[in-house]
């Protein structure tokens, strides 16, 4: 059966880990299409993995299975889960990795994956990506119905995914949620939601001692020496600089507080 | 339809960017074979991307679509183009990325991709890789004829791709065009063209204060402490050292001038 | 014919090298499934490449062709070989890269690949990955029988793969054979073999001036400040620390000696 399984992990690409998962999948379903999202999530950074997944899972065909393994609790009592949203499946550890999915799709439901008959016969305590999650994703791609893997649960671990607070003075408080490969600093401010609130007024964004007022339509008209704001490809406001790293320019890091002042 | 789309970008592999492009392609053509060339071109380095593409595009099956996105002008007025060479298609921004293709194939022609019906319904101003180029490449892989995407143009942006100048004294001037993963320094000198000119004479290559006279048939007979010359796999003369980084050894960087003195 | 070819090299992913190999394969067999194991083996580190391959080759479907190119001797007289084990094929240079395969499967046999009709028409002296090994793997994936590529040999290069020595005092001497992406230090001690010898006794592992006595069942119950021992996913004893890099914590490097004292 021609299905897609994507892979997102914190395994890096220098070890055999990702290949072992793919081998295990291909033994069960040689026809599957495998697509790497990334394997460079910072080790154990569940939130960062969830964020990156949330930016692209919906770009894949309906029915795609997203296999995500950032799993500091591997081998412990943390549950393995299978999440079904409107169009997609998600397989991975129950540690908040799919919080963004639940946030977007209120009908998404989770199952505790317990049917060990779908796992690898020999199960390590350090690599459930290979021994539990990959075989489950593979069986799912073969058409095994979700209910076969375990019962529904109503308490999957959920992290707070939104970081936007309104002050009485009208300021909007948020944070840097991601810094991308180019050094663009992605904020927690969703442009679509903010736009209504701004109602045509200009914005001013503060990060540390830096104040940014330019909101540009594309990189080319932006400055190559001063930071500017731009609506990024995930629909979030980003701090950028043309042909350079805004993170380096403004000295920003993930988690830094930002304040948006309309008017 | 079973077609190949290769991807070359400066996106890195730690974000969701490459996966988003692949998702968009697979939605349109689930049967396509996707092959990464590299995503580690230095940010905004159009010339480096064009060079790397030029070293391998011809190794792929006839009909392969090469999707290349190094796109500092995204969201501006720079054109999207579709290039047809004798055996291949190329999709990407019109900024010189395909200069090496035009240099090799004088019959290659370019179209300005304007038919927005092939693009993603919602188009960002920061990620045309996902919103414009990937869907165009996908539609092309489904058999949509090139002329459907837009009209022919005769002025695609072309960079100067050859850096070889002859002095009156017989010296040949060029530069380091690439430093590879191993530290080999790739020069702009094509061996096949040079060979005739040398007509059996020995060569001496100068880079900074270093002079290199050894041209070896393979790495094993080369020195592990002194730099030597070798004909690299792209047909260009390279500066190498056995089991080490020649770039570190001679202190070379991309753009450094080199002089070849025959005799 | 639907077959899998995996690729393991020291080429990195920033050049065109891996893509060129894949293009060459796809020209011959467009139906093949390509899976990267890793391309980040340290340049010329044949032993490290062999080790990584040994940790996952058996996770792939029977009939998989493992194409491995760590090839400091490219262009010299070193042989190209094709190894057949019980379930898998291996193609690469004869420099010890497949020592772990021979160690595991005493029936594995090797052929000297000499039939140049299977190679690329033009063969460089610096890139046999593209010009020799990739086309041979592709032809093999099309069903060309192994004996067509060359004669059996009984002297393929083999490295010593096991590093475990017993002292008269009962101590077991070994080394760090790999440090993974997370900083886990993989020792040469296979748990299954050691378990019998220990016969229920506790262990104490010495590395430099550090002594480690905790053998934990999973990361969660391990310390986040002191190193502990754990059975890794390759069945070897590893030195780890919870949510951190044990290599950094204990200052370990590949090749460091370790001593295991039972009792």
CA-nearest of B82, B6, B60 to B37 is: B6
User: CB of C124 within 8 Å of any CB in chain B?
Assistant: yes
User: For B180-226, what is each residue's pLDDT tens digit?
Assistant: 999 999 999 999 988 888 888 889 999 999 999 999 999 999 999 99
Total-model pTM: 0.97
Residue B228 host element (H or E): strand B228-231
- Residue C18 phi/psi, 5-degree rounding, is -65, -40
DSSP string of A166-220, one letter each residue: E-TTS-EEEEEEEE-TT--EEEEEEHHHHHHHHTT--EEEEETTEEE--B-SSGG
Q: Among C14, C23, C125, whose Cβ lies nearest the Cβ of B40?
A: C14
CA-nearest of C190, C223, C227 to C208 is: C227
CB contact set of A174 (below 8 Å; sequence gap of 6+):
A163, A164, A165, A187, A188, A189, A257, A258, A259, A260
Q: What pLDDT is recorded for position B110?
A: 98
User: Two tokens at B263?
Assistant: 């005799």
**A38 contact residues in B (CB cutoff 8 A):** 13-16, 19
Give the single-character DSSP code of B215: B
Average pLDDT over residues B97-104: 97
**Burial class of residue C239, CB neighbours in 10 A (0-12, 13-18, 19+):** buried
Q: What pLDDT is recorded for position B162?
A: 86
Q: Among A35, A36, A180, whose Cβ lies nearest the Cβ of B15?
A: A180
Residue B53 burial (CB count, 10 A): 25
Q: Do C220 and A73 touch (CB under 8 A)?
A: yes
Q: What pLDDT is recorded for position B11?
A: 98
Q: What pLDDT is recorded for position C213?
A: 94
**Which ranges of C107-211 does DSSP label H, i.e. alpha helix?**
128, 134-141, 191-198
Interface predicted TM-score of the whole assembly (ipTM), two decimals: 0.97
Mean pLDDT, rounded, of chain A: 96
Q: Please measure the distance between the N-terminal and C-terminal CA atoms of chain C and give it in whole angstroms.
A: 55
Where does A26-149 show beta strands of DSSP type E?
33-38, 65-69, 80-84, 89-93, 109-112
Q: Do A219 and B73 touch (CB under 8 A)?
A: yes
Compute CA distances C189 → A225, B16, C54, C162, C228, whole Å. 55, 38, 15, 9, 15
Q: At what angle do helices C134-141 and C17-28 cross, to 10 degrees?
A: 30
| Most distant pair of Cα atoms in chain B: their distance | 62
Cβ(A168)–Cβ(A175) under 8 Å? no
User: For B25-58, what is each residue's pLDDT tens digit?
Assistant: 999 999 999 999 999 999 999 999 999 999 999 9
Beta bridge partners of A93: A80
Q: What pLDDT is recorded for position A7?
A: 98
Cβ(B229)–Cβ(B211) under 8 Å? no
Cβ(C81)–Cβ(C68) under 8 Å? no
CA distance A199 to A212: 19
Number of H-type helices and E-type strands within chain C: 7, 15
Cβ(B59)–Cβ(C24) under 8 Å? yes
Alpha carbon of B116: minimum distance to chain C alpha carbons (Å): 31
Beta bridge partners of B231: B237
**C56 contact residues in A (CB cutoff 8 A):** 16, 19-20, 23
Cβ(C238)–Cβ(C232) under 8 Å? yes
CB contact set of A149 (below 8 Å; sequence gap of 6+):
A82, A111, A113, A114, A115, A118, A136, A139, A140
- Give mean pLDDT in consecutive 10-residue pieces for chain C, a chain of 263 residues: 91 98 98 98 98 98 98 96 97 98 96 98 96 98 98 97 91 97 97 86 94 95 97 97 97 97 86
CA atoms in the 13 A half-sphere facing the CB of C240: 25
Q: What pLDDT is recorded for position B257?
A: 98
Residues of chain A with pLDDT under 70: 1
Q: What pLDDT is recorded for position A199?
A: 81
Q: What b/e readout covers B65-93, taking b as 16+ CB neighbours within 10 angstroms?
A: bbbbbbbbbbbeebbbbbbbbeebbbbbb
Q: What b/e readout covers A149-171, taking b as 16+ CB neighbours within 10 angstroms?
A: bbeeeeebbeeebebeeeeeeee
CA distance C242 to B258: 51
Residues 36-65 of B with CB under 8 A from C: 36-41, 52-53, 55-56, 59-61, 64
Cβ(B187)–Cβ(B178) under 8 Å? no
Beta bridge partners of B80: B93
The chain C residue lying nearest A29, using CA atoms, is C61
Q: What pLDDT is recorded for position C1?
A: 53
Give the single-character DSSP code of A94: S
**Burial class of residue B215, CB neighbours in 10 A (0-12, 13-18, 19+):** middle
User: Two tokens at A190?
Assistant: 């969703």
Q: Among C22, C73, C131, whose Cβ lies nearest the Cβ of B35?
A: C22
User: CB of C111 within 8 Å of any CB in chain B?
Assistant: no
**Which ranges of chain A does DSSP label H, i.e. alpha helix?**
17-28, 46-54, 99-104, 128, 134-141, 191-198, 246-250
Given a cut of 70, whether residue B1 has pLDDT beyond it is no
The chain C residue lying nearest A14, using CA atoms, is C40
């Amino acid at each position: 059966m021609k299905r897609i399984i994507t892979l997102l992990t914190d395994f890096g690409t220098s070890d055999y880990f990702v290949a072992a998962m793919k081998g295990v999948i291909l033994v069960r379903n040689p026809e599957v299409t495998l697509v790497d999202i990334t394997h460079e999530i910072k080790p154990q950074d569940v939130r960062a993995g969830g964020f990156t997944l949330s930016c692209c899972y919906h770009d894949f065909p309906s029915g795609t299975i997203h296999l995500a393994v950032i799993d500091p609790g591997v081998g412990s009592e943390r549950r393995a889960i299978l999440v079904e949203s409107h169009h997609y499946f998600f397989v991975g550890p129950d540690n908040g990795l799919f919080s963004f999915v639940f946030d977007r799709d209120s009908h998404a439901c989770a199952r505790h994956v317990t049917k060990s008959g779908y796992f690898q016969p020999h199960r390590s305590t350090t690599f459930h990506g290979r021994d539990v999650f990959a075989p489950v994703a593979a069986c799912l791609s073969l058409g095994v119905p979700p209910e076969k893997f375990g019962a529904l649960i109503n308490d999957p671990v959920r992290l707070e995914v939104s970081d936007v607070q309104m002050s009485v003075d009208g300021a909007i408080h948020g944070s840097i949620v991601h810094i991308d490969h180019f050094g663009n600093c992605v904020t927690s401010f969703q442009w679509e939601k903010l736009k209504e609130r701004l109602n045509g007024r200009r914005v001013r964004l503060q990060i540390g001692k830096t104040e940014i007022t330019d909101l540009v339509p594309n990189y080319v008209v932006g400055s190559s020496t001063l930071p500017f704001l731009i609506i990024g490809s995930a629909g979030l406001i980003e701090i950028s600089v043309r042909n350079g790293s805004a993170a380096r320019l403004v000295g920003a890091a993930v988690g830094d507080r930002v304040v948006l002042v309309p008017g």
